[in-house]
Chains A and B, each alone.
Chain A
Amino acid sequence: KAGVTQTPRYLIKTRGQQVTLSCSPISGHRSVSWYQQTPGQGLQFLFEYFSETQRNKGNFPGRFSGRQFSNSRSEMNVSTLELGDSALYLCASSLVSGKETQYFGPGTRLLVL
C-alpha cells in the first residue's frame, strides 16, 4: 500500500505570494491532518479534515486554510506569505480520526524569501 504523498517536495516563494500544497493520504484513510514544523516551534497542528469537513483547527491565522476532496486528498493554502512561514509542512493521514495512528508524508519544505 502506498504511503502518504505530498507535492511539491520543495518550494521557494517570495513574501506576499500565496502557495498551495497537496497531500494524498493512504488509500482508505479518510482523516488528513496538517502540521507545520520549524526549528523554533517544533511540530504544530494546523488543521484536520474528515469527509471534506474541517474537524479541528490549531492556533494559526486565517491566512492558513485547507480543504479536502471527496477522494480524501487534501490541499492547504497559505496566502500573503510571510518570512516566518518558511517551514516543513507535513501531512498525516489516519483511518477515521486523530485518535488512531497517523502516518506522515515526507513533507513539503517551503522557503519564503
Chain B
Amino acid sequence: GESVGLHLPTLSVQEGDNSIINCAYSNSASDYFIWYKQESGKGPQFIIDIRSNMDKRQGQRVTVLLNKTVKHLSLQIAATQPGDSAVYFCAENNNNDMRFGAGTRLTVKP
C-alpha cells in the first residue's frame, strides 16, 4: 500500500526577512537541545545548541530561545538568505537519548 510520509510544516519567507521556526519537545527532563539544518542530499548540519540552564543563545544570524515552562524551542534566522532554504530539525537530549523533531521546511523566495 501507499506509505504515508511525515507532513513537514513549511515556512516560506522573503529574502531579507527574519524567519522563526518553532519546535515543541516532549521530555521535560531533556537538558540539551540542538538545531540542525539539512539540505537536500546531505546529512544534518549543526547550527546552534542550548543547554537547559539558559533561555537564549545567539550565533551568527541565528538565535535559539528555550521556554522550559511550555517545552518550546525556537530558531530565529535574521536576514534570511536563499542559502538558508532547507529542512530544520530540533533535537532534544535526555541522558544521551537524542530525539529529533519531524522538521520544518524553510523556503526562501528571492
- By a beta-carbon cutoff of 8 Å, the part of chain A in contact with chain B is 4, 33, 35, 39-45, 48, 55-56, 90, 92, 97-99, 101-107
Known pairs A90-B44, A101-B49, A102-B98. 7 more at Cβ < 8 A?
A: A42-B100, A43-B100, A45-B99, A102-B34, A102-B46, A103-B46, A104-B36
Interface size class on chain B is 20 to 34
Alpha-carbon distance between A17 and B89 when the two chains are bound, in angstroms: 32
- By a beta-carbon cutoff of 8 Å, the part of chain B in contact with chain A is 3-6, 31-32, 34, 36, 41-46, 49, 89, 93, 96-103
Question: CB-CB < 8 A to B45: which residues of A?
Answer: 104
Alpha-carbon distance between A103 and B91 when the two chains are bound, in angstroms: 13
Alpha-carbon distance between A106 and B41 when the two chains are bound, in angstroms: 8
Question: CB-CB < 8 A to A35: which residues of B?
Answer: 100
User: Could you tell me the distance in whole angstroms from the C-beta of A75 to the nearest C-beta in chain B?
Assistant: 17
Q: Is the CB of A42 within 8 A of B102?
A: yes
Q: Pick the residue among B6, B96, B100 that contacts A48 (CB under 8 A).
A: B96
Question: CB-CB < 8 A to B5: which residues of A?
Answer: 39-40
Interface hub of B32, B43, B89 (most chain A Cβ within 10 A)? B43
Q: Is the CB of A106 within 8 A of B42?
A: yes
Question: CB-CB < 8 A to A56: which residues of B?
Answer: 96-97
CB nearest neighbor in A for B41: A106
Q: Is the CB of B32 within 8 A of A104?
A: no
Question: CB-CB < 8 A to A43: which residues of B?
Answer: 44, 89, 100
**Can you list 7 residue pairs at the A/B interface with Cβ under 8 Å?**
A4-B43, A35-B100, A55-B96, A97-B96, A99-B96, A104-B44, A106-B42
